[in-house]
Structure 1
Amino acid sequence: MSKTNKLTLLPVMLCFFAMGFVDLVGIASNYVKSDLHLSDSTANVFPSLVFFWFLIFSVPTGMLMNKIGRKKTVLLSLVVTLLSLLLPVFGESYGLMLVSFSLLGIGNALMQTSLNPLVSTVMKGGNLASTLTFGQFVKAIASFMAPYLAMWGAQASIPAFGLGWRVLFPIYLVIGVLASLLLFSTPIEEEPIEGKASSFSECLSLLGKPIVLLSFLGIMCHVGIDVGTNTTAPKILMERLGMTLNDAAFATSLYFIFRTLGCLTGSFFLRVMNNKVFFIISVTMMALSMIGMAVGTSKAVLFVAIALVGYGNSNVFSMVFARALQSVPEKQNEVSGLMIMGLFGGTVFPLLMGFASDAIGQIGAVIVMAVGVCYLFTYIPKMNK
C-alpha cells in the first residue's frame, strides 16, 4: 500500500470508530431505565428507535452519494452523529434521549451506507476485504469501550462534568470531532458515478427473489440478536445474580470482546474453511448460547453463553450479505441497499423482547432471540459451499 493510501486510511478508520458509537445505545438504555424508573418495554424503545432509521434512510443515502459523493455523505453522517452526542450533555429527560438516539440512528444509517464504499475508493482495487475487516475491528473497540466509560462515569467523582454515566457522550463527541476534521482535510479523489441511484420500487421488487428475501430476513435476525444481547445481557445478570447495573454492564463489554475476536479470526477461517461449515458452527454456537442464557443461574454459565453469542454472531452478517450479492450479480447496488435496510431488525427484536421480558422476565427476551437463531438454521441450505 502506498504511503498516501495509508495516510488517507487513518481518518477513514477513525470514522469506523465513530460508527461504533451506535452500540452505546445498549448500555445507555439500561442506565436511562434505571435513572427514569422505566419498564423494559419502554426502555427498549431506545435501541429500537436507533435502528428504525435504517428502514427509512438506507436507499435514499445511496441516491445522495450519487449526487454529492461518498466523502461528503460520510461527513454529513458525522455531523448528525456529533449532534446526537451533544444533546445528552444537557440532561437525560425521556424526550431529549429519544431525540438523541433518533439522531444517532440517522447518522449511523448514513454512515453504514456510505463508509464501506468510501473504503473501496481509497483502496483503489487494493485488499478491500481485509481492510473492511480491520474497520469492523476498529468499530468494535468503540463498542466495548462504551460500557466501561459509562461504569467509570457512574462510579467516579467528576466535578468538572457532573454527568455520571453520561460522561461517555462528551468523550465520544471529542473523538467524533477529530474524525470529522481529519476526514474533511484529507483529499480523496472519487471516480464520477455513472447511472442513476436505485429507487425504492427497484429495490423492493428484488424481494420477490426467494434468496434475496431469505437473506434480508437473515440480516434482520442477525442484527436483532446483536442489539438484543447488547441490551439484555446486563439485565439477565441483574435478575439471576442480583448484580448492580454497574457490575452487570461488564456483560455488554464481554459480548463485544468476543464479537471483536470473531471478526478478526473469522476473516481467516472464511479464507481456509468451507463457508457453509463455518456458518453451521456459528449458528450452533448461538443456539448453545440461547440455552445458556435461558437456564443459566451461575456467573460462569451466563458469561460463557454471552461469549458464545458474541463469537457466533460476529460473521453472520458478512456471510449472508456476500451470499445475497452473489445471487443477483447484476443488481448488487440494489441488493446492498436492501441488506442495509435489514438492519431494521434492530428495531423489531428489542421491542418484542421488551414486551416479553415485562410479561415473564428476561427468559422472555431470550425466547425472542432464540426464534431468530432458529430462522438462521433454516438459512443453512442456502449458504454456498
Structure 2
Amino acid sequence: MNKTNKLAIIPVMLCFFTMGFVDLVGTASNYVKADLHLNDTQSNLFPSLVFFWFLIFSVPTGMLMNKIGRKKTVLLSIIITVLSLLLPLFGESYLLMLLAFSLLGIGNALMQTSLNPLVSTVIKGGNLASTLTFGQFIKAIASFMVPYLAIWGASASIPSFGLGWRVLFPIYMIIGIIATLLLWTTPIEEEAVIVENELPTNNIADEYIACFKLLGIPIVLLSFIGIMCHVGIDVGVNTTAPKICQERLGMTLNEAAVATSLYFLFRTIGCLTGSFFLRVMKTQTFFIISVTMMALSMIGLYFGTSKLVLYTAIALVGYGNSNVFSIVFAQALQCVPTKKNEVSGLMIMGLFGGTVFPLLMGYVSDALHRQAGAILVMAVGVAYLFTYIRKLA
C-alpha cells in the first residue's frame, strides 16, 4: 500500500464499525415487542424490513458507484444511517420505528455494497478475504456492544434522558457523524471503472439487465444464495437467541439479551482469528470447519434445554458464521474482477435473506407455538452452505 492507502484504512475500518449498527435491529425488535406487546410475526417484521431494502437498493448502488465513486457512495450511506438513528429519539411508536429501521436498511444497503469494493481500492493487492474478515471483526464489535448498551440504558441506575434502552441510538449516531467527517477528509485514489466488451449506454434498464446477467455465471448465482443463507442465519440467531432462552430457561428479556452478546462475542472472535486462519489455511478447509460448527449449533439449539447447551450452541454458530460472508463475497469478486461494482451489488442484494428468513421463522414459530420452528428454518440455510464447499478452491 502507498502512504495514502495506509492512512485510508483507518476511516474505512471505522466505517465497518458503523456498518455494524444494523445489528441493533435484533435487540431493538425484542424490546419493541415487549413495549408494544407484539407477537413473533409482528416483531420479526423489523429485521425483515431492514433487509428488504437490500433487494431494492443494492444493484442501483453498484451502478451509482460507477458514476460518483465508492467513497462518495459510502459517505451517502453513513448520512442516511445517522438520520435513521435520529428518529427513535422522538419516540418508539410502531410506525416511527418502522420508518427508522427502513432508513437504517437503506443506509446499510448502500454501505455494504460500496464499502467492500472500497477496501479493494485501499488494500491494493492485499489478501482481500482476510482484510474483509478483519473489517467484519470491527463490525462485530459494534454488534457486540448493542445488547449491553440497551441493558445499560434500561437500568434505572443511570440517567438515560427518558430514552431507556433507546439511549444506544444517540451513542451510535455520534460515532456515525465522526466516521463521516473522518472519511470525508481522507483522500482515497480510486481506479477508473473498466467496462469490458460493452457499448456505452445511458439506458438504466440496459445497465440493470447487464448487471443481472451476471447471475448467469454459476459461481455468482451460488454465492448470491450463499450470502442469503449466511445473513438469514445471522439475523435469525440475533433475533431468536433471546427468545429461545426466555422459552427454555424462563429468563427475563434483560437476562436473555446476553445471549445476543454471546453470539456477537464469538462472531467477533471468529472474525479476528479468521483473518489469520485464512492466511495460513486453505479457504475450503476453514469453510468446512465453519459450516460444521453451524450444523452442530442447530442441533444444540433444537434439542438443548440447559443454559450450558444453549450457550454452547450460540457460541458455535457465532464463530462458524463469522467468516462465511467474507469467503463467499471474495470468491465472487475474484471470479469476475472487471465487474467488482456490479458483483458487489448483486452479493449485497443477497442480504435480502435477512428479510426472508425472519419472516419464515416468525411464521413457523407462531404456527408451532415454539421457537423450534425458527431453528428449522435456519437449518435449511446451513444445509445449503454445505453444498457451496465444492465451489471453493
Question: What TM-score comes out, normalization by structure 2 length?
Answer: 0.92
- Quote the residue 1:123 is aligned against: 123
Amino acid at match of 2:258: F
- SS of the counterpart of 1:38? coil
Q: CA deviation at 1:126?
A: 5.1
Summarize the alignment of residues 1-385 of structure 1 with structure 2, pairs less than 5 Å apart. 4-125=4-125, 128-159=128-159, 161-195=161-195, 199-329=207-337, 331-360=339-368, 361-384=370-393
Q: CA deviation at 1:48?
A: 0.6
What per-residue deviation string (whole Å, max 9, x for no partner) do you get for residues 333-356 of structure 1? 433322111111010000000111
Q: Per the alignment, do residues 283 and 126 of structure 1 end up closer, same or farther by CA in structure 2, a change over 3 Å counting?
A: closer
Amino acid at match of 2:269: L
Distance (whole Å) between structure 2 residues aligned to residue 244 and residue 220 of structure 1: 31
State, as a whole percentage, how many aligned pairs show the same letter.
79
Amino acid at match of 1:257: L
Amino acid at match of 1:162: G
Distance (whole Å) between structure 2 residues aligned to residue 190 and residue 383 of structure 1: 29
RMSD after superposition: 2.0
CA contact (8 A) 1:225 1:349 kept: yes
Distance (whole Å) between structure 2 residues aligned to residue 185 and residue 378 of structure 1: 44
Distance (whole Å) between structure 2 residues aligned to residue 95 and residue 274 of structure 1: 48
CA contact (8 A) 1:158 1:164 kept: no
Amino acid at match of 2:48: S
Q: CA deviation at 1:34?
A: 0.5
Greater mean deviation of Cα atoms: 176-185 or 193-202:
193-202
CA contact (8 A) 1:202 1:334 kept: no
Greater mean deviation of Cα atoms: 35-44 or 128-137:
128-137
Q: Per the alignment, do residues 334 and 192 of structure 1 end up closer, same or farther by CA in structure 2, a change over 3 Å counting?
A: closer
Q: CA deviation at 1:39?
A: 0.4
Aligned residues: 384
Distance (whole Å) between structure 1 residues aligned to residue 248 and residue 241 of structure 2: 11
What per-residue deviation string (whole Å, max 9, x for no partner) do you get for residues 310-362 of structure 1? 11111112222233344445544433322111111010000000111112210
Greater mean deviation of Cα atoms: 369-378 or 142-151:
369-378
Amino acid at match of 1:246: N
Structure 1 segments, 4+ long, off by >6 Å, are none
Distance (whole Å) between structure 2 residues aligned to residue 219 and residue 4 of structure 1: 32
CA contact (8 A) 1:275 1:319 kept: yes
Distance (whole Å) between structure 2 residues aligned to residue 266 and residue 124 of structure 1: 20
* Runs (5+) with no aligned partner, structure 2: none
What per-residue deviation string (whole Å, max 9, x for no partner) do you get for residues 129-167 of structure 1? 544332221111101001100011111344451100000
Q: CA deviation at 1:193?
A: 3.1
Amino acid at match of 2:111: M
Amino acid at match of 2:296: L
Q: Per the alignment, do residues 286 and 149 of structure 1 end up closer, same or farther by CA in structure 2, a change over 3 Å counting?
A: same
Q: Per the alignment, do residues 192 and 381 of structure 1 end up closer, same or farther by CA in structure 2, a change over 3 Å counting?
A: closer
Amino acid at match of 2:87: L
Greater mean deviation of Cα atoms: 62-71 or 52-61:
62-71
CA contact (8 A) 1:12 1:183 kept: yes
Distance (whole Å) between structure 2 residues aligned to residue 206 and residue 128 of structure 1: 21
Amino acid at match of 1:284: T
Greater mean deviation of Cα atoms: 200-209 or 372-381:
200-209
